[in-house]
Structures are given as C-alpha cells and as structure tokens.
Structure 1
C-alpha cells in the first residue's frame, strides 16, 4: 500500500520572501527516498502554507517538518496539530540540529544535521512498524528522541564524503519559474560570529564541476530556467573548481542559454575571480560586507577581512560590469553610533547595486547565541519569533544585543538605513 508522506517547510506564511524559493533540502530527501525505495512506494507532497487544512485533506501517514529558528513556533504548532490526529512526526533542519533539546513533546524524532542517509533508516523503521519505537531508534545515528520522558541524543552521523552520490533534488515537487536556484557545495570555511553554517555542515564539501554542469543542464532542459542563483555560502571558495565550471560552461555554450548570480566574500574577490565570473555569465554577486568599520568587522568576521577589502571588491566587480549586492549588520554589543555612521557613509559612497540592512540577531549555533544566553536574552524554550531576521517587522520584540544603544536608538538608526536603501535602490533602477 502506498504511504502518503507530507513534508512541511515551516515558514512564516505572512512573509512573502519566505515563499519565493522552494526548500531544496526537502527535495533532496524526496530524491534520496525514491532512489532507495523506488518511485511507487510513497506519495509525496511538499507544502509551506495552509498546513493544517493540507493535513486534513491529504491525510498523510507521516509528516516531516523542517524549520529555521525564527519559525520554530510554526513547526511546534503543526506538530501538535498532527499529533492530535495520531500522525508520526519527524523534524529536521538547522534549528533542531543546533538545539536538539528544543524537541517538542509532540515530535517523535529529530534529525540532526545532514538528512539524506538518516531519513532512509527512519523510513525503514516506519515501513516495518508503522511507528517509531525506542528500541528501533536506538541504533540510528544522527537523531534525538524521547525515552521515559527523557531526551536521548544518539551518536552523530558521518557526513556524506562523495557529494556526487547525492541525487539531484526532486524539483518535480515544486513550481519552478524562470529564476531558480541550486547548491554546488555545503558549508563555509569561515566562522562569522552570527552564522551557524560552519557548525551545521562541519566542513566545506563540494559537488564536482561535472555534477554542477549536469544539474544546470537539467534546469535548462526540464524547467526552461533562464537565471540560476547559486545559494552556496561561498560559491568561489575553491578557485580550481570554479575554473573547471567556467571551462565546461564555455565548452557547452551554457552561457548562451542561462545567466547566474552567486555569493562571495570581499577578501576573495580578485581580478582573476571577477574575470572568471564574468566569463561564465554571472550578473550579480552577493557580498556579506557587514560593516564600514574595521572595528566592527573584526568583531563580526574575526579580523580576516577589512573595509579596504570591501571597497576593492566593489570596485573590481564594477570594472567587470557585475552588480555588487551587499548586506550589512548593525547592533553589535560594543558598536557605537559613530561606528554605525561609518557603515552608513560606506554605503553612501560606494557603488552598490542593492543593499540590505540587518540588526545582529543571536541564532542558535553561533557565538552571538552564546553571548545572548549568558545575558539571559535567549533560552531553549523561548518565543522563537523574537529571532525574526526582518527587524522592520519585529521592532518591539527583536532581541537587542547592543550594550551602548537602546531599542529606540537602534530603531531610529535602522529607519535611516531603510531610507538610504530606498534612495539608492531607486537611483539604481
């Protein structure tokens, strides 16, 4: 009998940007399950809204939920709704991986870290027993579950070494437009204090250039995509692989069919890198510049990138007619108004195509989380909506880490940046 499996991406349904891109992490899980159990064993559905009505209509045999920290309240809500209907729940994603102790009593199992292998073992148990019994979970690495009202965290799971063995995500589960995205690596070699990527992925692993090209070709042939965004933490981390990707794109004339955007780090942008990106058809590069103050950059990024690096990166990209889009972070504990003014003036005086401004938020798995925890600003059972990255929509609830500026001052400064953002973005249209 075919099992109905509902995967839920627990987003904030009131935030439009969260609905913009499908959750490829869930797509990878579907592909892994199909590849292992065959395509006729399960009836999959992936959703991110109208979750409760979808549960009632689809009548799933099992539900898998993925969630980031700021949306974990939604994950808990959906799990409770499902448990009341006796539907087993697996939860995964960055939040439960960083704070497994926050597993809700309504959730049967938490999947910690990379899920493609773990999900196969969990589904084998489910197919055999129709539920998750503690004795069946004891030998599965990379999970958390409850036993006698206590949380049990099993040994961590070894990460997938040969990335090319991972099956392309099941994009047939999503509505794919002319602009889509993909991953060519997992992880980041850097350790910014506000980012959990290096802890979640442990180390950087790359798909081969050949694998990347095959996925690009599938996006073009099957989905008629015209613009592909590489959502890697740092697409240009491996220069030799980048050269191989560019060579294959030119050889196969892919640059005539599709254009790209990617992310980079300012201190890695050189004339050679920019030339390669231009050659392969990159239109824009997203840079986490973070600040126009060397003092603040040292705090946020550990001192391995400078304001001069930021300026040079923008100038080099402009030379190659590649748009420089940037993000900045204000509100560090010791950051003064004068420090923030340096960032404001940096944005004003440099030719950025677009920029976004964020207030430093303590996400689980980061140094800022530990700092906030010591100040009793966060906890494992907090209201997770306080971690909303969109400060403008969460002015009164967002956690303020600054030791020198109060909430009202941060709000006032943030609004000035928003006005500058509006002015610069209109100017660049």
Structure 2
C-alpha cells in the first residue's frame, strides 16, 4: 500500500515573518514515528512543505496529514484536493485533536492525541476496509517502539536532522500550553526506557543533537541516567528545561558533562502575577538570575521564551522585558503574543467570557492579538511585539548582552550565535537555496562547544 505523510506549511510561509532557516531546522519527527509503524511491504514517503513542494496529482492509497493551528487551512486544502479524487485522507495532530469535528469536514478519519497505539489499529482497519471516523489515543506505551524512519527524510534540507525525543508531553499544567489539548483528562507524560533512548542516539551520525522534548528534565531519574551514559559519546546537544529544574540539584552539571550547551527556557514573564495567572508553577517564586548565572558558569547558552499579553501586562512590558533579557545575558529570545489555542484552559475561559475576537486560525501564530486585552489595543500589542524583537537583536544590544557573561569564551559564543541566527538572513537564504545546510553543521558544533 502506498502511504503519503504530509506536513503542510504553516501560515507564516506566506507572510512577511517567513524565515526559511527557522523552518529548515528539524524534519517532521512525528510523521517519521508513525511511518515506522507501517508494514514493511508499504511504500511510504514523507513530504514537508516547508522545504519542498507537494505533488497533489499523485495516486497514493492513503494520505496522512499532520495539523497545527496555523497550518490547519492549508491541511484542509490539501485534504480536499485528494478526497475530490477519491483518495482517502486521515488528519491528526494538535489542531485535529483540539477541534475534531471541524477537521472531520475535510477527512475520512481523525486520529486523536498520540498515535503510537491508535495508528496501527487504524492502518489494520483501513486495509480491511473497515476504518472508523475517529480513533482515540487509547492506552499509550512507548515500550518496544521502532526507531523513527529517518531514512525518509531529505536530510540535506535541514540544519538539525538529528532531532529526537525521549518523552512525550509534560507534567506541568500551564494554562496557555497548546500541547495540553492532547492530554485532557488523562495521563500527560510518557517516557522511553533508557536503553531505547541510547539506541536512538547511537543510530544518528554526527556530533550534534537536539532533544525536542517539552522538558528534558521532566523525569529526573531518566534524564540523569541518559546523561551519565552520554558522557564520552562526544555529542553536543540542545533542549528545553525549566527554571526550577536548574536550581534543584546537580542534574544540570550532569547534562553539561554529557554535552548540553544551549537551553530553551520558558521565562514567559518577569511579572509574578502573570506567572500565577498562567499557572506557571515551575517559575513562580524562583530566582531567575540565580538560574541564569548557574548556566553561565557552566557554559550553557540560553534561548529565553517570553509571552506578551497576559492580563497584568501594560504598555511598558515590551521594553522592560527586552531590557531585562539583554542585561541578563540571554543569548537569543523567542517572543510570543499570548495566544489562547483551542483545547487549552485559557481558551475555554476567554471564550466563555466572550473575549475571543477572531477564530481565524491563520492569526493564531503568536504574532497577532486574537482576544480583547484589558490594557492594550491590538495595534499597541502587535507594535510592541515587533519592537521587542527589533530592539533585542540590535547589534548594540547583542554586544551589550554578550558582555554580561563571566568568561571570554561565553562572550564570544553569545555574540557569534546570536549574530549568526538573526543578522545574516540573506546568507541563510543562499545556503538553503543551494542545499548547503549540511556544510554548516560543523560550524554549529564549533560554536556550541
């Protein structure tokens, strides 16, 4: 059977915010995981519209589409195109799980939640000519899963082909978190066994890894085992952690010894009331500066995530947050306008309170204000968001922030990494257009070292 997996392009691909390098970082790991559950006799392909064009005139037996909120309309367009020709379509992913009835208007089958258990059942039913309209996640176990089908990736099109996870979900319950829509009313965190994680690490060539887990320290016992085993592998990796996990024990030191060199941290807000509103328990009452300094002394760079638009924010939040990030030595910043995704508790509350001003999912990209804010207009919010990015990445602020580190090596790493990531867009575009990303991976490893 011919099975085609598709990741449609996000709406940003058609907007002024489109950065080819940002969407050429990671291949679609989730689709490769599902592909590994197909039969050996199946002819399987994966198409990522961020890095290649989709042929909509082919004749697969089954099309499986992954949906996010800002690729939902494109996902539906692709699905409708195939279904008009009598080709069966299944849609899964975050958006389909959040709004299954909407997605069902464009698909024969909707796959809800994680697919490790439900996808093989769906495939069997499909081949038997007896598939259902909806497949629930069911009881999920990550034991005995095959490795993702990385052989289906166009590796030359990605800067970081060696991405992986050793867990699914997150034990935290932040009110704004899109991933929480996957785990309503049930278990919200799953993890592989340590031997399975090590097998996957060893299966990938090269020195660089990116762990895409929501929090690589979520299961401390597991992560400590992994980091101890990784010592001596000569790998350098990046991943997401929480503020409280840095301060608790020596796990961060173990991670550094294993090769951890760049941390994504959701600071979200420098206002305690906002953190309480967002139920960001891992940050409330925690010493941000102590966590930052601990990482700096080790030699771990920080990509700080910040959310604008929580109810306690005023017009000064953009400049105050940027000034704090620069003066704290944050290497790169990922800013967002608060976006109440369907399926989250914050969306449910805002919808009940009639604060949602649009349900055009194309605008749910964390760059537009989609709800009424008590202290700012839509124009003020979006202007402030754009100003915060522009100011953080000014050469003068990159230089100023790099000087906040204690060691010369970290000062140089900061300046090089931040400058290369944000200030050389034409260079990245040339590299991508000429399929030279693989040539830059060595430079990335040298910078991380």
Whether the aligned pair in 2 keeps the contact of 1:9 and 1:66 (CA below 8 Å) is yes
Whether the aligned pair in 2 keeps the contact of 1:292 and 1:344 (CA below 8 Å) is no
Deviation at 1:211, TM superposition (A): 1.3
Deviation at 1:422, TM superposition (A): 0.9
User: Matches of 2:116 and 2:104 in 1, distance apart?
Assistant: 22
- What do residues 9-49 of structure 1 show as CA deviations (whole Å, max 9, x unaligned)? 1222444323432111111111011xxx3x12x11111122
CA 1:416/1:61 → structure 2, altered by over 3 Å: closer, same or farther? same
SS in structure 2 of the partner of residue 115 of structure 1: coil
Match of 2:213 in 1: 232
Match of 2:204 in 1: 219
| Match for residue 265 of structure 2 among 280, 287, 298 | 287
Asked if 1:182 is matched to 2:164, the reply is yes
User: Matches of 2:27 and 2:372 in 1, distance apart?
Assistant: 32
**Residue correspondences, number:** 385
User: Matches of 1:218 and 1:48 in 2, distance apart?
Assistant: 22
Deviation at 1:219, TM superposition (A): 0.7
Whether the aligned pair in 1 keeps the contact of 2:322 and 2:392 (CA below 8 Å) is no
| Match for residue 196 of structure 1 among 157, 178, 185 | 178
SS in structure 1 of the partner of residue 310 of structure 2: coil
Match of 1:66 in 2: 66
TM-score by length of 1: 0.83
Deviation at 1:66, TM superposition (A): 0.7
Whether the aligned pair in 2 keeps the contact of 1:372 and 1:401 (CA below 8 Å) is no
Deviation at 1:338, TM superposition (A): 4.4
SS in structure 2 of the partner of residue 55 of structure 1: coil
Whether the aligned pair in 1 keeps the contact of 2:265 and 2:305 (CA below 8 Å) is yes
User: Matches of 2:377 and 2:112 in 1, distance apart?
Assistant: 36
CA 1:71/1:195 → structure 2, altered by over 3 Å: closer, same or farther? same
CA 1:240/1:120 → structure 2, altered by over 3 Å: closer, same or farther? closer
Match of 2:411 in 1: none
Whether the aligned pair in 2 keeps the contact of 1:334 and 1:402 (CA below 8 Å) is no
Match of 1:410 in 2: 381
Matches within 5 A, 1:288-367: 288-306=266-284, 308-367=286-345
CA 1:401/1:333 → structure 2, altered by over 3 Å: closer, same or farther? farther
Deviation at 1:120, TM superposition (A): 1.8
Match of 1:32 in 2: 37
User: Matches of 1:124 and 1:351 in 2, distance apart?
Assistant: 53
Whether the aligned pair in 2 keeps the contact of 1:331 and 1:400 (CA below 8 Å) is no
Asked if 1:267 is matched to 2:252, the reply is no
- What do residues 324-343 of structure 1 show as CA deviations (whole Å, max 9, x unaligned)? 11110001134223455542
- What do residues 278-299 of structure 1 show as CA deviations (whole Å, max 9, x unaligned)? 1101111110111111121222
Whether the aligned pair in 1 keeps the contact of 2:104 and 2:110 (CA below 8 Å) is no
Whether the aligned pair in 2 keeps the contact of 1:286 and 1:325 (CA below 8 Å) is yes
Deviation at 1:413, TM superposition (A): 1.7
TM-score by length of 2: 0.80
CA 1:304/1:24 → structure 2, altered by over 3 Å: closer, same or farther? closer
Asked if 1:249 is matched to 2:230, the reply is yes
User: Matches of 1:5 and 1:355 in 2, distance apart?
Assistant: 39
Whether the aligned pair in 2 keeps the contact of 1:19 and 1:48 (CA below 8 Å) is no
Match of 1:21 in 2: 26
Gaps of 5+ in 2: 403-414, 417-449
Does 404-413 or 22-31 show the bigger shift? 404-413
User: Matches of 1:47 and 1:383 in 2, distance apart?
Assistant: 26
CA 1:105/1:246 → structure 2, altered by over 3 Å: closer, same or farther? closer
Asked if 1:168 is matched to 2:147, the reply is yes
Whether the aligned pair in 2 keeps the contact of 1:286 and 1:324 (CA below 8 Å) is yes
Match of 2:428 in 1: none
Deviation at 1:6, TM superposition (A): 1.0
- What do residues 177-205 of structure 1 show as CA deviations (whole Å, max 9, x unaligned)? 56321001011011111103244143211
Asked if 1:208 is matched to 2:190, the reply is no
Match of 1:49 in 2: 49
Asked if 1:387 is matched to 2:360, the reply is no
Whether the aligned pair in 1 keeps the contact of 2:243 and 2:286 (CA below 8 Å) is no
User: Matches of 2:54 and 2:267 in 1, distance apart?
Assistant: 42
Whether the aligned pair in 1 keeps the contact of 2:273 and 2:312 (CA below 8 Å) is no
CA 1:67/1:199 → structure 2, altered by over 3 Å: closer, same or farther? closer
Whether the aligned pair in 1 keeps the contact of 2:356 and 2:372 (CA below 8 Å) is no
User: Matches of 1:157 and 1:96 in 2, distance apart?
Assistant: 12
